[in-house]
Amino acid sequence: MKCPYCGDVESKVIDSRGIGDGIRRRRQCLHCGTRFTTYEHLQSRNLFVIKKDDRREEFNRDKLLSGIRKACEKRPLPTGTIDKLVDNIEAELYRLGKTEVPSPIIGDMVIERLQELDHIAYIRFASVYREFTDIAALKQAVDTLVDTESNTPPAGQLSLLSQEELTVLGQRHRRRK
């Protein structure tokens, strides 16, 4: 390891500690005696996303994070939830063991997690990802969400519809059958 102060390549490790997904090492230059810190992280292999038009672009974590943040904007989510969600998706993508992943797989992972996390964020993301062209398509997505979920949202999540609206929708749905 090259000393950042004198440029000499001889140093000794004084202390090593595991941090997250890497190692922090305190080193001392054997030439000038200065101490400095280095960080080691596993270098992940490149992952490419196959777009709808068959273009390939390198996976961009920030792009994924940005899209999810837009969907979750002004939603009452605990701090760090979105970053954790992106970490989870990224880890799953690398666990697939492939160098190229079609964009719909990533989109489906986001949709699945947002549906569990926050119904409004799910609908926002789905409206862009699934390219809803009219209000009927949006209504169908909301109806599907209402049908698959119980009438009460998970603890800590605001309801997509009021209890009164859910009751009315349930009555209408039963009459149609």
Residue 127 domain boundaries: 48-176
Q: In this structure, are 34 and 56 located in the same domain?
A: no
In a domain, 1, yes or no: no
How do the pLDDT tens digits run along the chain, 177 residues long? 889 999 999 999 999 998 877 799 999 999 999 999 998 876 667 899 999 999 999 999 999 999 999 999 999 999 889 999 999 999 899 899 899 999 999 999 999 999 999 999 999 999 888 888 889 888 888 888 887 765 555 556 666 667 777 677 666 655 554
Query: pTM for this structure?
Result: 0.59
- Which amino acid appears at position 143 of this protein? D
Q: In this structure, are 15 and 62 located in the same domain?
A: no
- Minimal CA–CA distance to 95: which of 28, 50, 138, 45? 45
Which residue is listed with tokens 């960080």?
39
Q: In this structure, are 58 and 98 located in the same domain?
A: yes
Q: In this structure, are 29 and 83 located in the same domain?
A: no
The DSSP result for the chain, as a single string, is: ---TTT--S-EEEEEEEEETTEEEEEEEETTT--EEEEEEEPPPPP-EEE-TTS-EEE--HHHHHHHHHHHHTT----TTHHHHHHHHHHHHHHHTT-SEEEHHHHHHHHHHHHHHH-HHHHHHHHHHHTT--SHHHHHHHHHHHHHHS-SSPPTT---SS-HHHHHHHHHHHHHH-
In a domain, 4, yes or no: no
* Tally of domains within the chain: 2
